[in-house]
Amino acid sequence: MSEGESELNRPRLVQELAEDPGGELPEQFVCTETPYGLITASVPLMDIPVIDFSLLSASSVTTDDEFEKLQSALTSWGCFQVINHGIEFSLLDELRENGREFFKLPMKEKQKYARAVNEIEGYGHDMVLYENQTLDWTDRIYLSVNPEDNRKLQYWPENPKTFREVLEEYTRRLKVIVEALLKAMAKTLDLAENSFLNQYGERPIIYARYNYYPPCPWPDLVQGLKPHADGTAITILLQDEEVEGLQLLKDDKWVRVPIRPHALLANVGDLVEVMSNGNFKSPVHRAVTNSEKERISVAIFCIPEVGKEIGPIDELIDDKRPRLYKTVKNYNEIYFKYYQQGKRPIEAVKL
């Protein structure tokens, strides 16, 4: 098994495979069965918790049942849709549309932003770290947004014209929402409101990933995005407004996440699971492909500040509920090695 990427093992872009009429499916993409079952099994629709953000921020813990809904969403699913978040729908539409337009540009134009070997950021396909790694049916553009001085603007598309400013505005607004969510999450566990924020830090790392799934001629043989949980504190996902594809694992069974075009999907990441000492679970999810329609999603990964020690919050450890996780620093580094082998990185920090 080889670790690290080289020019030699770089596969073709998924979009090129999709647009090649006589093309065959390269072996590396074939995946009919995962540790979670066959990819063709039929999957029911999820009754996803919906949280009204305006009620959450206006209410106090004792008086409002929005907190109870949040608590139940966090402990049972680790995921919920956020409505009344205050972000204009037109901004969300433009964010998605910019992503779609970028992927429609000629290959030569997109390649200006190509990801370098062994780098995460930029335009391209999955990083290939292992010979036996199964490839996913998605191309992406991956950008570091925060802290601002870490931005690598050479990877930020200049076309479509508003790509940069829309992403900047969207993430600026999300930063505030995510901090409010982290406070509310602490309150649902009877903790001081800054308990999660203290570990999250004042200079969180924020990445944006635009996932583009072209129509796939072999939907029964290929995964859109392999099963994983996010290595974040929280992920906010904007799904395609028409084409479904996201599925979540609940009690060992897959369920489909419904579309609500202007809701934000908040996902607990592994690091909030650790901080919460397992009270909140970071859900395993995947994306499936569609034989007729393309799909786009924009994931914003909110990760604690570099160097922060992440561990279970003291008040959540007692005789009845012992400490379940080690303390971890720079989780990102172990995350990708596990992820690309289809393993759960959080296993590495469990006690």
Ligand X SMILES: O=C(O)CCC(=O)C(=O)O
Binding of ligand X at residue 225 (CB under 6 A)?
yes
Q: Which residue, 145 or 186, has its beta carbon nearer to ligand X? A: 145
In a 10 Å sphere around its CB, with 0-12 CB exposed, 13-18 middle and 19+ buried, how is residue 112 labelled? middle
Burial 208-223 (b: 16+ CB within 10 A, else e): bbbbbbbbbbebebbb
Going by DSSP bridges, is the β-strand pair 253-256/264-268 parallel, antiparallel, or unpaired?
unpaired
User: Could you give the CA distance from residue 75 to residue 11 in angstroms, rounded to a whole number?
Assistant: 39
Q: Contact between 285 and ligand X (CB under 6 A)?
A: yes
From ligand X, Fe ion, none, interface partner of 191 (C-beta below 5 to 8 A by class): none
Distance CA 312, CA 334 (A): 19
Q: How far apart are CA 237 and CA 246, in angstroms?
A: 10
Number of amino acids touching ligand X (CB under 6 A): 12
Cβ closer to ligand X: 243 or 324?
Answer: 243
Shortest reach from residue 159's CB to Fe ion, in Å: 27
- Interface region with ligand X, contact rule CB under 6 A, candidates 34-42, 154-162, 172-180, 238-246: 238-246
In 3-state terms, what secondary structure has residue 199? helix
- Judged by beta carbon, residue 18 or residue 225, the one nearer ligand X is 225
Residue 234 vs 349, nearer CB to ligand X: 234
Q: How many CB atoms lie within 10 A of CB 234?
A: 26
Q: Is 290 in the site for ligand X (CB under 6 A)?
A: no
Q: Which does 349 bind (CB under 5 to 8 A by kind): Fe ion, ligand X, none?
A: none
Q: Of these, 145, 208, 272, 287, which contacts ligand X (CB under 6 A)?
A: 287
**What is the pattern of x (binds Fe ion, CB under 5 A) and - over residues 217-236?**
-------------x------
Contact 179, 275 (CB under 8 A): no
Q: Which is nearer to ligand X, 183 or 285 (CB)?
A: 285
Choice from 288, 299, 303, 316 touching ligand X (CB under 6 A): 299
Burial of 41 (0-12, 13-18, 19+ CB in 10 A): exposed
Question: Which does residue 247 touch among ligand X, Fe ion, none (CB within 5 to 8 A, set by kind)?
Answer: none
Q: Which of 313, 322, 234, 304 has the alpha carbon at shortest distance from 270? A: 234
Residue 239 contact among Fe ion, ligand X, none, beta carbon within 5 to 8 Å by kind: ligand X
Of positions 133, 146, 188, 211, contacts ligand X by CB under 6 A = 211
Pick from 157, 214, 245, 283: which binds ligand X (CB under 6 A)? Answer: 245
The answer to whether residues 266 and 73 touch, using CB atoms and an 8 Å cutoff, is no
Q: Of the two residues 121 and 230, which places its CB atom closer to Fe ion in the complex?
A: 230
The length of the chain, given as a count of residues = 351
Q: In Å, what is the CA distance from 85 to each residue of 53, 57, 244, 320?
A: 5, 10, 22, 37
Asked if 136 touches Fe ion (CB under 5 A), the answer is: no
* Residue 273 binding Fe ion, by CB under 5 A: no
Q: Which residues pair with 144 in a beta bridge?
A: 207
Closer to ligand X by CB, 74 or 237: give it: 237
Instruction: Name the amino acid, one letter, at 195.
Output: S
Q: Which stretch binds ligand X (CB under 6 A): 70-78, 147-155, 237-245, 328-336?
A: 237-245
Beta bridge partners of 114: 123
Give least dist CB 273 to ligand X, A: 15
Residue ranges that bind ligand X, judged by CB under 6 A:
209, 211, 225, 230, 237, 239, 245-246, 285, 287, 297, 299
